[in-house]
Amino acid sequence: MRQVLQSLADGRTILAEVPASAAPRGGVLVKTTHSLISAGTERMLVEFGRAGWIEKARQQPEKVRQVLDKVRTDGILPTLDAVRGKLDQMMPLGYCNVGRVAEVGADVRGFTVGDRVVSNGPHAELVAVPRNLCARIPEEVADDEAVFTVLGAIALQGVRLMAPTLGERFVVTGLGLLGLLTVQLLRANGCRVLGIDPDPTKTELARRFGADVVALERGEDPLAVANAFSGGAGVDGVLITAATRSNDPVSQGARMCRQRGRIVLVGVTGLELDRSDFYQKELSFQVSCSYGPGRYDPQYEDEGTDYPLGFVRWTEQRNFQAVLEMMNSRALDVRALITHRFAFDAAPAAYELLAGQSQPHLGILLEYAGQNSERVGSRTVVFDRQSTHAAADAEPGIAFIGAGNYAARTLIPAFAASGVRLQGIASGGGVSAAHCARKFGFARATTDADALISAADTDVVVIATRHDSHARFVLRALRAGKHVFVEKPLALTAEEVDSIADAWSACAPSGQRTQIMVGYNRRFAPQVVRMKSLLAGVRGAKSFVVTVNAPALAASHWMQDPRVGGGRIIGECCHFVDLLRFLAGREIVDARVRALASENDSAPRDSVAITLGFADGSWGTIHYLANGHASFPKERIEVFCAGRILQLDNFRRLRAYGWPGFKSMRLWRQDKGQKACVRAFVDAVRNGAAAPIPLDELLEVARVTIALGEAVRG
């Protein structure tokens, strides 16, 4: 299928061929007939992409601070790589979609194949959306009207926060699509409305919808007009639907309001507020969040858990339905907002119109008529494998499951550099898989992971998905007779670990063992390898201290969810458990953990001290702390033994104290061993050699970290 994508690096807008998704569990697959370009939001994205590095930095100062912190801790070259990797993405555009249901996923009620629905799906021939993010369209509402539903829900949520009552007087600042929809919604509530916008075409539309307007083109003063409009008392409230970096809309709105008036921000403005504007009048100020309650809540949006109507009357889906009902009753006129129609094939031209100043525009529709259904529904896109990174047929064929940031920035380049055949890559939505396939030279991109695993030309399956899917994909790959490289962790439960061990034992053909590798790259870092060689000549027990200055993650982050990410001990501390297992070279015989106390029982328990005891009497502590500061180095490893000390800071500088013949080892850039880890695995597969990390150690580390994670959760 085809989809509209935009480059964050240079702002190019393209119509790309990407693999189609299947209907998700708890969702539907929709074949698009129309989609609407959101002039405000999407113009900002296009302008950001087309801006130079300096302008990008100016627009996102908080990102600049993060970059500077990373330079101080990791160095300039890794930071540049990270920034380039972040910008080297193709972003799906659009969130106002209309079409017919093509497939219904498991556990979905209320939708059947053929239903006309609205959704927040992107500009694509097929979109997969959760059930709570779509709504059925009434029979009397045409597709090119229903396509305004999502924008209408955004406007409606702002109006709901304003809580208008019959006869109140409001100002709407910014008369783009959102503003003109807001004008109509306020008028439907029996309110008087004053519209403000520098474009006389838009103010004329607002007047047509029943609003009074400020004629800025004739030099009218908005404050004076608002004062007359309110009879000298001040308006009851101001809804800001403009998109600007200026602070003026908020400041101006405050001066227009009456005592205890209210201001709701639906659009985007500067937020350097003047206290005096709000203090004497006791004004309230609120920012509206998108379509309404449920937005950005994964349980509502992804898992389909609805809020009880008696407690949350208007969720985002119920706001969709309310807007559709207003269209059906003709209380909301959206046809007057349509200024341009483009065939979907001409989508890039529509974005040139959006970004340029050549023609005035409001509602820009993309129309998808006459699609070839067989081509549209393909779940695999085939590329010319010989174009880049071609490899001999004798080399192992690699299939990637997952195409996220770590895969694209680290793992795929490492495998490509090892000379293997990049046979296929799969991702849930297909966009990231198609982008990586084009960039690195995979033969095909797909959303069908199972087909990729079972393909005859796949020898090795690389798993770089979310943690809860690791064990499932490892088992599928082993049962298909494939070698496996899985990003940490190996599994989230002891039962999954046991299943993997059993599957590995059962699937070995002709006595030749299938390779299993977990991406524990730190043991392959050059300075850690040097530490290991130095420790080999030391007898007696050793003491290890690892300090990790981890970034704080919100309780809602997927990594903190025991069912999805496993928590940070299982999901991240496993790296350091494996590292100490490698340096000690002996079995872990004791493992204990203590979490930092918190006044909030619901807060993540992700600042912990782990103590490991080894079979030779050595012991190690891992201080994994998420309560530090980003400017401090992220990782420090220290070894105390036989009157000597080794200290490794952030995988850049290794210092030795009291070590004969060795003082230090410094690298120009950080090297955590990712490339060496992949190279060792590929060489083992290629040559039929022993696994770089024995399976017994992988299973041991997995069981230890799972037990520690469960102990913290209690």
Per-residue b or e along 397-417, where b marks 16 or more CB atoms closer than 10 Å to that residue's CB: bbbbbbbbeebbbbbbbbbbe
Bridge partners for 673 per DSSP: none
CATH of domain 2-148+334-373: 3.90.180.10
Q: Which helix (H) or strand (E) holds 695?
A: helix 695-713
The yes or no reply on domain 381-518 and CATH 3.40.50.720 is yes
pLDDT at 386 over 60: no
Strands of 397-401's sheet, edge to edge? 380-382, 444-446, 421-426, 397-401, 460-463, 483-486, 516-518
Q: Picking from 71-85, 277-291, 464-478, which range would have the lowest pLDDT averaged per residue?
A: 71-85
pLDDT digits (tens, 9 = 90+) for 666-687: 998 889 999 999 999 999 999 9
**Gap between the Cα atoms of 258 and 171, Å rounded:** 12
Phi and psi of 408, rounded to 5°? -70, -35
Q: Number of helices (H) and strands (E) in the chain: give both, helices first.
A: 26, 31
N-to-C CA span, the chain = 47
Q: How far is CA 458 from CA 395, 472, 512, in A?
A: 11, 18, 17
pLDDT at 646 over 70: yes
Contacts (Cβ under 8 Å, ≥6 apart) of 346: none
Please give the average per-residue pLDDT across 153-172, as a whole number: 97
pLDDT at 61 over 70: no
**Gap between the Cα atoms of 610 and 574, Å rounded:** 11
Q: Are 414 and 475 in contact (CB under 8 A)?
A: no
**Gap between the Cα atoms of 63 and 68, Å rounded:** 9
The pTM score is 0.88
Could you tell me which of 570, 617, 569 has the C-alpha nearest to residue 590?
A: 617
Q: Which fold has domain 521-713?
A: Dihydrodipicolinate Reductase; domain 2 (3.30.360)
Alpha-carbon torsion, ordered 302, 305, 311, 316, to 10 deg: 30
Please give the average per-residue pLDDT across 211-238, as a whole number: 95
Tell me the pLDDT band of 172, cut-offs 50, 70 and 90. very high
Q: Are 417 and 675 in contact (CB under 8 A)?
A: yes
The pair of three-digit structure tokens given for residue 474, joined into one six-digit string: 């490892």
In angstroms, how far apart are the furthest CA atoms of the chain?
A: 91
Q: What is the pLDDT of residue 384?
A: 67
For residue 114, which amino acid is it?
A: G
pLDDT digits (tens, 9 = 90+) for 526-582: 999 999 999 998 989 999 999 999 999 988 889 999 999 999 999 999 999 999 999
pLDDT at 390 over 60: no
Contacts (Cβ under 8 Å, ≥6 apart) of 224: none
Instruction: Please state, as a whole number, how many other Cβ atoms lie within 10 Å of the Cβ of residue 550.
Output: 17
Q: What is the pLDDT of residue 43?
A: 77
Q: What is the pLDDT of residue 612?
A: 98
DSSP label at residue 408: I
Cis peptide before 489 (omega within 30 of 0): yes
Q: Which fold has domain 151-287?
A: Rossmann fold (3.40.50)
Per-residue b or e along 351-368, where b marks 16 or more CB atoms closer than 10 Å to that residue's CB: bebbbeeeeebbbbbbbb
Q: What is the pLDDT of residue 138?
A: 97
- Helices 494-506 and 695-713 pack at an angle, to 10 degrees, of 160
Q: Are 433 and 444 in contact (CB under 8 A)?
A: no
Q: What is the pLDDT of residue 330?
A: 94
Alpha-carbon torsion, ordered 108, 317, 339, 183, to 10 deg: 170
pLDDT at 616 over 60: yes
Q: What is the pLDDT of residue 271?
A: 87
| Residue whose structure tokens are 């064990």 | 471
pLDDT at 511 over 50: no
- In the chain, residues under CATH classification 3.90.180.10 are 2-148+334-373
Q: What is the pLDDT of residue 545?
A: 98
Q: What is the pLDDT of residue 633?
A: 85
Please give the average per-residue pLDDT across 698-710, as a whole number: 97
**Gap between the Cα atoms of 571 and 530, Å rounded:** 27
Tell me the pLDDT band of 597, cut-offs 50, 70 and 90. confident
pLDDT at 474 over 60: yes
**Gap between the Cα atoms of 592 and 483, Å rounded:** 33
**Gap between the Cα atoms of 288 and 522, Å rounded:** 45
- In the chain, residues under CATH classification 3.30.360.10 are 521-713
Q: What is the pLDDT of residue 387?
A: 41
pLDDT digits (tens, 9 = 90+) for 352-371: 888 876 678 899 999 997 65
pLDDT at 65 over 90: no
